[in-house]
Amino acid sequence: MNVARDIITVAGVSAGVFFFFAGTVGLLRFPDTLTRLHALSKADNLGLGFVVLGLLPQTGGLRDGLKLISIWMFVLLAGATVSQLIARTARQSGSGK
Amino acid sequence: MNIATVFEIALAAVVLGLAIWTIAVPDTYSATVGFIAYGLLVALIWVRLDAVDVALTEAAIGGGLGGVLLLGAAARLRDTEAMTTEGPSLIVRLSAAILSASIAAALAVTILLLPDPAPTLAPAVVANAGATGMTNPVTNVLMAFRGMDTMLEKVVLLLAIVGVWSLASDQAWGGRPGPRHQADPNGVLAFLARLLPPAGIVVGIYILWTGADHPGGAFQGGAVLASMWLLVIMAGLVDTPPVRSRWLRLILVAGPGLFLAVGLGGLCFGSAFLAYPVAFAKPLILSIEVAMLLTIATTLGLLLAGAPERSAER
Amino acid sequence: MSAVTVFGLCAAAAVGLGLYGLIANPQPLRKIIAFNLLGSGVFLMFGIVGRRGAAAGFGNDPVPQALVITGVVVAFSATALAIALLLRLFQIAGSTTLNSRAAASARSDPSGH
């Protein structure tokens, strides 16, 4: 049983790290603000989701699992809002670069 | 060399790189962003040092609120950057570099030559933990064993607020701090400012409550509450209160006032200043912490809002 | 190398960098940031000493931890006061330079307001 849990954790966290890596590469390589934001917000939210999914089998009980999921939800909410605000500022200032 | 050590070396390298970036980059705004990233990664170092209470404080106050403060200042001072004067002469720079390098080297040597076995007060904290009925050792130290420090620190917060307020111009004396924030009332920021605070307030109170037995406490919870308040202010849903308001000043002195009252009570009825009677230690500490939570949240929010800039009527 | 050594050297370097920035950088806001960097290095030193004092089932001596928590909050309030002073200086003088000669010329120049 423990081995199965560990396999899920390793798989989930590895998938999460892959998406974080992809998002970071996008942040560094894409040419302007909007595409960078696009890479960062999408890939990182998914990556954090995989990390949380991978950690869920390691939690002691339902309470800890719910705390982990709520952390993911809060990051989704904050990340989406901040991306919107940055994108709007970038468009209004007309820089986009 | 195991995988944890590799992780630690990588973390230390990234933190150092960010520190160098913060000092060396020419643009002030970039330096501020670098410092925020630095603060958040330093919180990870605190986790690796098994000091989760400090990590929470560093992330919430050092990285989060401090970051907002510096970013706001950098944005308002951005136009002055072009007209700032040239830096100090080469000789000054060179001697500063030599001085800093030698101090860093001396500290590094000290770290490598620390005495073995290391002195520790952890056994004393464990031996006296029964006196308060709480199992989080850091909260025990903060609220009971070194309660004097924590009380005086509240006074420092109060003095800082008095200092910031006294910088107001004559027209704005006693008025509202900071600029009036305007945001699209149907925009995404206003939406977040309506959606997040209920959950954020619960999280802040939970962090205070769990601080008795687990990592957390009044500082960390207060920082979360302050950020919720600031979010609502920045979305333009409420305005900052005029600093002459009486209820505001009552909240500001509630934490240190209650702390002082309990401390004097210990002097009158107990053995010493700030001596809690063992039977009531936990309820007394909790009520001080609740008052402190309100005071810390309000003070941190007002410190971020800055000096009064508009008269109360407008 | 243990965590204590790695992070200890990191803290020493942060103190050095912060001190250099505090002296060599002409802009007041950058000086404030550098001072915070210096403080953060000093706090990490406390963490290192506490980590070495791990005993009685705790991974880190609680007394230095509590001191650092107090210190972080005090450092924040000092930073807030410094920034309020800086913004007020900018409001009155129209510039944030600490150089007294440059400040005087900015004040005598009517376009500087």
Instruction: Look at residues B79, B97, B119 and tell me which one is the last residue of a structural domain.
Output: B119
Domain extent, residue B290, equals 121-314
What pLDDT score was predicted for residue C38? 93
Subunit contact B199:A78, Cβ cutoff 8 A: no
What pLDDT score was predicted for residue C103? 54
Q: B114 and B140 in one domain?
A: no
Interface probe for B, chosen from C79, C83, C97, C113 (most Cβ of B below 10 Å), is C83
Q: B221 and B153 in one domain?
A: yes
Q: Which helix (H) or strand (E) holds C26?
A: none
pLDDT in tens, B188-237: 888 888 888 999 999 999 988 888 778 878 888 999 999 999 889 888 88
Instruction: Determine A/B contact with 3+ CB pairs under 8 A as the test.
Output: yes
Instruction: Look at residues B119, B134, B160 and tell me which one is the last residue of a structural domain.
Output: B119
**Tell me, what's the ipTM?**
0.88
Q: B22 and B165 in one domain?
A: no
Q: B261 and B180 in one domain?
A: yes
Instruction: Look at residues B119, B154, B172 and tell me which one is the last residue of a structural domain.
Output: B119
Q: Per residue in B111-141, is it b (16+ CB within 10 Å) or e — as a string?
A: beeeeeebebbbebbbeebeebbbebbbbbb
Subunit contact B70:C32, Cβ cutoff 8 A: yes
- Cis status of the peptide bond prior to A31, with omega within 30 of 0: no
Out of C1, C12, C83, whose CB is closest to B69? C83
Q: B56 and B141 in one domain?
A: no
Q: What is the mean pLDDT of chain C?
A: 82
Contacts of B121 (CB under 8 A, 6+ apart): C53, C61, C62, C63
Subunit contact C81:B163, Cβ cutoff 8 A: yes
Domains annotated for chain C, with CATH where assigned, are 3-112 (1.10.287.3510)
Q: Cα separations (Å) of B223 from B60, B143, B201, B205, B304?
A: 6, 18, 11, 11, 11
Subunit contact B192:A81, Cβ cutoff 8 A: yes
pLDDT in tens, C80-92: 999 999 888 888 8
Q: Across residues B127-150, what is the average pLDDT?
A: 76
Given CB atoms, is B97 within the 8 Å cutoff of chain C? yes
Out of C11, C34, C63, whose CB is closest to B125? C63
Terminal Cα-to-Cα distance of chain C (whole angstroms): 56
By the 8 A CB rule, do B51 and C60 touch? yes
Subunit contact C44:B42, Cβ cutoff 8 A: yes
Out of B188, B196, B199, whose CB is closest to A84? B188
Q: B21 and B128 in one domain?
A: no
Out of B188, B196, B199, whose CB is closest to A85? B188
Subunit contact B160:C23, Cβ cutoff 8 A: no
Q: Per residue in B233-262, is it b (16+ CB within 10 Å) or e — as a string?
A: bbbbbeebbbbeeeeeeebbebbbebbbeb
C19 pLDDT more than 90:
yes
What pLDDT score was predicted for residue B134? 75
What pLDDT score was predicted for residue B310? 80
Instruction: Choose the most confident range, by mean pLDDT, from A17-21, B75-79, C4-8.
Output: A17-21
C76 pLDDT more than 80:
yes
B37 pLDDT more than 70:
yes
What one-character DSSP code corresponds to residue B274?
A: T
Q: B114 and B210 in one domain?
A: no
Give contacts of B199 with chain A, Cβ < 8 Å: 74
Q: B142 and B8 in one domain?
A: no
Interface probe for B, chosen from C7, C90, C91, C92 (most Cβ of B below 10 Å), is C7
Least confident of B78-82, B226-230, B291-295: B78-82
Please tell me the total count of domains within chain B.
Answer: 2
By the 8 A CB rule, do B157 and B293 touch? no
- Alpha-carbon gap, residue B33 to B22, rounded angstroms: 8
Contacts of A39 (CB under 8 A, 6+ apart): A22, A23, A25, A26, A27, A30
Q: B244 and B264 in one domain?
A: yes
Interface probe for C, chosen from B1, B18, B50, B86 (most Cβ of C below 10 Å), is B50
Q: B135 and B10 in one domain?
A: no
Q: B305 and B175 in one domain?
A: yes
Q: How many CB atoms lie within 10 A of CB C75?
A: 21
Q: Which residues of B touch A (CB under 8 A)?
A: 188-189, 191-192, 195-196, 199
pLDDT in tens, C32-71: 999 999 999 999 998 888 888 777 677 778 888 888 998 9
Q: B147 and B28 in one domain?
A: no
**Concatenated DSSP letters of C72-103:** HHHHHHHHHHHHHHHHHHHHHHSS----HHHH
For residue B243, give the 3-state DSSP assignment: coil
